[in-house]
Amino acid sequence: MNIILFEEQELDGGRVVLHDRRAVHIHKVLRATIGDRVRVGLVNGPMGSGRVASVVKGRPTRVELDVELGEIPTHQPEIDIILALPRPIMLRRILGQVAALGIGTLFIIQANRVEKSFWDSGLLEEGEYLEHLRHGLEQAVDTRLPQVRIFRKFKPFVEDFLPLVKDHYRFRILAHPYGTATLAGYLGPGEGRIVVAVGPEGGWVDFEVERFEAQGFRSCSLGDRILKVDTAVVALHARISAIRELLGRSAA
């Protein structure tokens, strides 16, 4: 936990009272005592510092912070991710990772090769996935919580929803082992949001590839290695970020 995050409703006249794992972290890991300052942030708001006003040991441990907020995070990350629902253990890891890497929205969708039982996962409940996203923000020192949107059916997502939002994206990437383009070949210089769609274990089926391509997605390959979904998500985010930084630089 590299930043202590709290919600708007926890803030009362500049003071935040903590009595959960955040209090334990401040007391046991940071070993902060009265007067010490810790890094804090308002979820989806500014970051700043919190001065420890009181520490009460016990069960639960209770810590009061007087917070000063001021550092406004920069604009929303420019990458959104469409993810065919992976198995729960992998989704949990991906939630933390995408929040740590920084994305705008995570669209979790159905696909042909998604196992039906994955949709029973408790992780798809807001209280559950938000917790894992927050862990990612706490790791990366950020306050900008990715949005999550869940589509339990593929066709309504790709035929009804995507047409409404696709023009928000300058670059639309379908990660696909048999894609003919490379990321570096497809991504160009200049501003603009990017959306990348990552398939299930076993990949997208032909019908799905066609539907995405009909919405202006370009099939891009990461090379001939088959990666696990969580590795692929991080690698795609990192490659896209690196290419954008490099092309932005050469264009400037």
- Interface residues with its own copies (CB under 8 A) are 2, 96-97, 100-102, 139-142, 182-184, 224-228, 231, 234-239, 241-243, 245-247, 249
Q: Among residues 50 and 77, whose Cβ is nearest to its own copies? A: 77
Which residue type is seen at 136? G
Q: Among residues 147 and 182, whose Cβ is nearest to its own copies? A: 182
Q: Among residues 34 and 242, whose Cβ is nearest to its own copies? A: 242
User: Minimum CB separation from its own copies for residue 86, in Å?
Assistant: 14
User: Minimum CB separation from its own copies for residue 179, in Å?
Assistant: 15
Q: Sheet of 4-6: strands edge to edge?
A: 4-6, 37-42, 47-56, 62-71, 15-18, 11-12
Rounded Cα distance, 147 and 139, in Å: 18
Rounded Cα distance, 82 and 105, in Å: 8
Q: Among residues 214 and 238, whose Cβ is nearest to its own copies? A: 238
Q: Which of 3, 31, 77 lies closest to 237, judged by CA?
A: 77
Main-chain phi, psi angles of 181, to 5 degrees: -90, 160
The HSE-up count of residue 14 (CA atoms within 13 Å, CB side) is 7
User: Minimum CB separation from its own copies for residue 98, in Å?
Assistant: 10
Q: Among residues 15 and 46, whose Cβ is nearest to its own copies? A: 46
User: Minimum CB separation from its own copies for residue 215, in Å?
Assistant: 25
User: Minimum CB separation from its own copies for residue 184, in Å?
Assistant: 5
